[in-house]
Every structure is written in structure tokens, then in C-alpha cells.
Amino acid sequence: MIDPEYMFRDEQPGEQESLVNFASATFRADSRAELLNRLRPLVRRQFSLIAEHLGFIIGHALFVQAFLRQDQSTFLASGIGTLAVHPNYRRQGIGSRMLDIGLGRCQDASVPLVFALTEPAYYLSRGFEFASKHGYHYHHREFDTLLLVKEIIPGSLARLSGEVSFIPAP
């Protein structure tokens, strides 16, 4: 069971700086912190969830719009922009709880598919599949092996198709 002292809530206005610090502490020397901080202004946010303990941010999940482009059409889906838990708090179910809350919200909003572009192991253990297995490609094809998908509305994987991007068309 998750420690009842942990709180799960939406990001509040004015928390950007705390989140930048959280990303630096979480990814440490990893170049992903810099990458995430650089991409943050480019994506279209859907919602941002925070896990908190004693007033400190210990987890963050950012859900963003995903764009599924085919020929002249664009379908909207969701993407996981960030899912991260502070190293001192991992393997206690915090990541899974944030993921479940986020996927639940996607379901409530009738989002057909949720994509993630990341190291696959964790997501594969949480019910995601390789998107390429279903004919989906990332818009930079060299990253196709990192593109994962979870079907939210049954039948969507077969019904939709196209090239996935997390950045709106210019």
C-alpha cells in the first residue's frame, strides 16, 4: 500500500521552478533533465500531476497532446511527456499511481490512445505495447523502437493510424 502521507494532486501555478529542480534532482547527470526542460514549452499540456511528501515534490507526471497525422488528417490522442519519481522514493508504487490517475483521466475524456516515447521496460510492464506492432510510427523514425502505446477506447488501435508527434504543427 502507498504511504498515506503521500499526496497526489494537480500542479499549481507558480510551481515551474520547483519542477525544474525536481527534474534535475531526479535525472541527476542524465541529459534527459535538460531535454525535458527544453521540450516543456514546445508541447501542448493536457494536465500535470504531482506526488508530494511533506511539502516536497517526489513525483511528476505530465500528460500532453499527441498528434496522429495521416495524409491531410490529424487525430488527437495523448502522450506522456514525463513520468518521474525521485530516486529516494522509487519502487513504492508512486509511478504506477500517477500513471493510473492519468490514464483514468484520459478514459474520462474519451482519449482513444496514449503514447509514450521512452525506455520501454517500465511501460511494457504497465500494459503498454510497442506502437510499431500496430503500424504507428514516430515522426523521427529512428526513435520508433521507443514509441509505446496504450489503447484506452477499445478498437482505436485498429481504427486509427499515422505518424505520431508531441509537437503541434507550426
Ligand X SMILES: CC(C)(COP(=O)(O)OP(=O)(O)OC[C@H]1O[C@@H](n2cnc3c(N)ncnc32)[C@H](O)[C@@H]1OP(=O)(O)O)[C@@H](O)C(=O)NCCC(=O)NCCS
User: Grid coordinates standing for 166?
Assistant: 508531441
Shortest Å, Cβ 138 to ligand X: 15
If the CB atoms of residues 110 and 125 are measured against ligand X, the closer one turns out to be 125
Which of the stretches 38-46, 65-73, 92-100, 159-167 binds ligand X when contact is defined by CB under 6 A? 92-100
For residue 139, the SS3 value is: coil
Among 12, 91, 142, 155, interactor with ligand X by CB under 6 A? 91
User: Distance between alpha carbon 151 and the CA centroid of its chain, in Å?
Assistant: 14
Q: Does 92 bind ligand X (CB under 6 A)?
A: yes
| Distance in Å, CB of 158 to ligand X, minimum | 26
DSSP 68-109: EEETTEEEEEEEEEEEEE-GGG-SSSHHHHHHHHHHHHHHHT
State which residue has the least CB distance to ligand X.
95
SS3 166: coil
* 24 forms part of the interface with ligand X (CB under 6 A): no
Size of the site for ligand X (CB under 6 A): 16
Near ligand X by CB under 6 A: residue from 22, 40, 95, 162: 95
**106-145 footprint of ligand X as x/- string (CB under 6 A):** ------------xx-xx--x--------------------
Q: Please name the residues in contact with 78: beta carbons below 8 A apart, sequence gap of 6 or more.
A: 46, 63, 64, 65, 66, 106, 111, 113, 114, 115
93 binds ligand X (CB under 6 A): yes
> Whole-angstrom Cα distance, residue 58 to residue 50?
8
Given the rule CB under 6 A, which residues bind ligand X? 82-85, 90-96, 118-119, 121-122, 125
